[in-house]
Structure 1
Amino acid sequence: MRTRTPLFVFLLVAAIWGTGFTATEVGLRSLPPALFAALRFDLAAVLLFGLAGWRGDRLRPAGRGEWRPILTGGVLLIGVHHALLFAGQQYVPSAVAAVLLGLIPIVTPALTRLSTARKRLTPVGLLGVGLGFLGVVTIANPDPSNLVGSDLRGITLVLGSALAFAFGAVLTHDTEATMPTLAEQAWMMLVGAVVLHAASALLPGESLSAVVWTVDGVLAVVYLAVVAGAAGFALYFWLLRRVGPVEVSLLEYVIPVVAAVVGWLALGEALAPTTLLGFAIIFAGFVLVKRGAVRNALRRWRGGTAPQAQRAD
Structure 2
Amino acid sequence: MKSSSALPVTAAVYVLLILIWATTPLAIVWSVQEVHPMWVLIIRYFGASLIAVLILLVLRNPLPFDRISLKSYVAGSLNLIGAQLFIYLAANYLTSGLMALIFGFSPLLAGLIGHVILKTQRLIALQWLGMLIATAGLTFVFAASADSKVNPIGILLMLISMLSYISSIFWVKQINAPLSAMSQATGSLLISALGSLFLLPFVWQHMPVSLPGTQTIIGFLFTMIMSSIVAMLCYFWLIRRLKPSTVSLSNVITPVIALVLGAGLNHEQISSHAFTGIAVVMLGIVMYFWVEWRKQHRSS
- TM-score category (smaller protein): 0.7 to 0.9
2:34 aligned with 1:10? no
Inter-CA distance 100–259: structure 2 relative to 1 (3 Å threshold): closer
1:216 corresponds in structure 2 to 215
Structural RMSD (CA): 3.6
CA distance in 1: counterparts of 2:139 and 2:16, whole angstroms = 23
Q: TM-score, normalised by structure 2?
A: 0.79
1:303 corresponds in structure 2 to none
CA distance in 2: counterparts of 1:175 and 1:28, whole angstroms = 34
CA distance in 1: counterparts of 2:169 and 2:294, whole angstroms = 28
1:67 corresponds in structure 2 to 70
Deviation at 1:137, TM superposition (A): 4.4
CA distance in 2: counterparts of 1:39 and 1:137, whole angstroms = 35
2:33 aligned with 1:29? yes
The aligned runs of 1:264-303 (5 Å cut-off) are: 264-291=263-290
Structure 2 counterpart SS, 1:243: coil
2:185 corresponds in structure 1 to 185
Deviates more, 1:13-22 or 1:192-201: 192-201
Q: TM-score, normalised by structure 1?
A: 0.77
1:176-202 CA-to-partner distances (Å, cap 9, x unmatched) read 131222122111112112223422542
1:260 corresponds in structure 2 to 259
- Asked if 1 retains the 8 angstrom alpha-carbon contact of 2:38 and 2:88, the reply is yes
Q: Percent identity?
A: 18
Tell me the number of residue pairs that the alignment of Structure 1 and Structure 2 aligns. 294
Which runs of 5 or more structure 1 residues have no equivalent in the other structure? Answer: 298-306
Deviation at 1:227, TM superposition (A): 1.4
Deviation at 1:233, TM superposition (A): 1.7
Deviation at 1:309, TM superposition (A): 1.3
Structure 2 counterpart SS, 1:281: helix
- Asked if 2 retains the 8 angstrom alpha-carbon contact of 1:16 and 1:228, the reply is yes
CA distance in 2: counterparts of 1:183 and 1:272, whole angstroms = 44
CA distance in 2: counterparts of 1:10 and 1:120, whole angstroms = 25
1:48-94 CA-to-partner distances (Å, cap 9, x unmatched) read 22222111111232x111111101111x211122223434555x445
Deviation at 1:204, TM superposition (A): 7.6
Output the amino acid matched with 2:46: D
1:124 corresponds in structure 2 to 126
Which runs of 5 or more structure 2 residues have no equivalent in the other structure? Answer: none
CA distance in 2: counterparts of 1:105 and 1:290, whole angstroms = 9
Inter-CA distance 142–240: structure 2 relative to 1 (3 Å threshold): farther
CA distance in 2: counterparts of 1:145 and 1:229, whole angstroms = 29
2:176 corresponds in structure 1 to 176
- Which of 68, 79, 82 does residue 80 from structure 1 map onto? 82
Deviation at 1:286, TM superposition (A): 4.4
